């Protein structure tokens, strides 16, 4: 148990260290705030899809009917976990009833519901499992479910406008495209150029580019932290409440959901079918809350503060989560 806690603490330390350069560069004005748009696009459109392709193509588990069925189970568990958390978040913030509190309530519910399963979750699983391909593939299945819900329910939650619900964006965003490419190469290993011994050097394309995900994502977090006052970060009780929903309540609900399956010994030969959704739902707030608030005229400062505070607090909650699920 001590080893698990120590490993998670080291991983979180490494991730937070990556945030330090971004924080310093922003404070010293060597990086401009508008640069984050370009960095986010590099992260979203290049390094993260490459990390997804890497998981499916570099030393993957052999494809089989059982593995494909497990993908379906992970997808269903993931959808259920996200909706359970959404309902819980809506109930928690019922006290914000006034019409003028709607934008604030919607951002808080969004933060509580959607985890940073991609920017932080994928590199976290990669480091925690020492690059276990099976675990990585299951966490990526979670991100597929996540993106489908994010661009439908998530977009509606911030805007209250059904016209902003975009199935097209859910299906055609870079991470979903990367998942499809990786899945095709996984299903047809004969065309998987990233796992052929004869041209093994080609692996470096997805390995090097994909491994940029963790440093880039945390540098962006560091820049955002540098732009928020300590008062905004640490003195708003609603941010702590939504952080509780995001980091603790969502974990508890998801863990209770998979507990009967785990107690019955189901998926004993593939434990990450159950654990991947739990770990993904334990991650800090989704970075997209800031982008959505900016794009749809939501509570921008609140979104940035909740995102940054939740990310910092996750350094304390994640070791406990990983210890509990390892018992």
Number of domains within the chain: 1
**CA nearest 161: which of 93, 103, 89, 109?**
103
The 10 Å Cβ neighbour count of residue 184 is 14
Q: pLDDT tens track of the chain, all 327 residues?
A: 567 777 777 877 887 888 899 999 999 999 887 787 788 788 878 888 898 898 888 888 888 899 899 999 999 999 999 999 999 999 999 998 888 788 889 899 999 999 988 777 877 887 788 878 788 889 989 988 998 898 888 888 877 777 767 778 778 888 889 889 988 998 898 999 998 888 889 999 999 998 888 788 778 878 878 888 887 777 889 999 999 999 999 999 999 999 999 999 999 999 999 999 999 999 999 877 877 776 666 677 788 888 888 988 998 898 888 888 877
pLDDT, residue 225, reads: 80
pLDDT, residue 63, reads: 86
Q: Please give the Cα distance from 136 to 121 (Å, whole number).
A: 10
Give the bridge partners for 285, in sequence order: 115
pTM of the model: 0.85
Phi, psi (rounded to 5 degrees) for 229: -70, 150
Q: Which two tokens stand for residue 320?
A: 């406990």
Residue 81 lies in domain: 2-325
pLDDT, residue 301, reads: 76
pLDDT, residue 38, reads: 82
CB of 137 closer than 8 Å to CB of 56: yes
DSSP string, 212-229: THHHHHHHHHHHHHHTS-
What does the longest C-alpha to C-alpha distance in the chain come to?
65
Residue with structure tokens 């494809």? 63
CB of 157 closer than 8 Å to CB of 106: yes
The CATH number assigned to the domain holding 192 equals 1.20.1530.20
pLDDT, residue 295, reads: 63
Q: Which two tokens stand for residue 198?
A: 């004869």
């Amino acid at each position: 148990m001590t080893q698990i806690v120590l490993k998670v603490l080291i991983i979180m330390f490494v991730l937070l260290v990556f945030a330090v350069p971004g924080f310093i560069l922003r404070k010293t004005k060597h990086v401009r705030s508008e640069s984050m748009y370009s960095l986010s696009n590099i992260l979203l459109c290049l390094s993260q899809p490459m990390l997804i392709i890497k998981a499916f193509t570099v030393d993957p588990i052999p494809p089989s009917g059982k593995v494909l069925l497990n993908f379906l189970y992970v997808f269903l568990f993931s959808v259920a976990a996200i909706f359970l958390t959404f309902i819980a978040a809506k109930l928690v913030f019922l006290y914000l009833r006034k019409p003028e509190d709607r934008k604030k309530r919607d951002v808080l519910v969004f933060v509580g519901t959607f985890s940073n399963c991609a920017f932080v979750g994928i590199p976290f699983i990669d480091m925690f499992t020492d690059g276990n391909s099976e675990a990585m593939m299951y966490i990526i299945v979670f991100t597929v479910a996540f993106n489908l819900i994010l661009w439908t329910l998530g977009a509606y939650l911030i805007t209250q406008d059904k016209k902003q619900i975009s199935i097209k964006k859910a299906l055609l965003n870079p991470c979903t495209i990367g998942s499809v490419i990786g899945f095709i190469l996984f299903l047809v290993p004969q065309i998987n150029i990233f796992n052929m011994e004869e041209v093994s050097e080609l692996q470096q394309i997805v390995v090097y580019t994909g491994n940029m995900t963790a440093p880039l994502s945390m540098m962006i977090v560091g820049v955002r932290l540098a732009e928020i006052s300590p008062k905004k970060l640490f003195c708003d009780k609603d941010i702590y409440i939504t952080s509780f929903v995001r980091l603790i309540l969502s974990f508890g609900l998801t863990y209770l959901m998979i507990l009967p399956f785990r107690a019955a010994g189901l998926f004993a030969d593939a434990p990450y079918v159950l654990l991947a959704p739990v770990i993904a739902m334990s991650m800090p707030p989704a970075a997209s809350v800031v982008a959505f608030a900016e794009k749809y005229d939501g509570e921008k400062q609140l979104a940035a503060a909740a995102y940054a505070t939740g990310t910092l607090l996750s350094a304390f909650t994640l070791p406990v989560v990983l210890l509990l699920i390892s018992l």
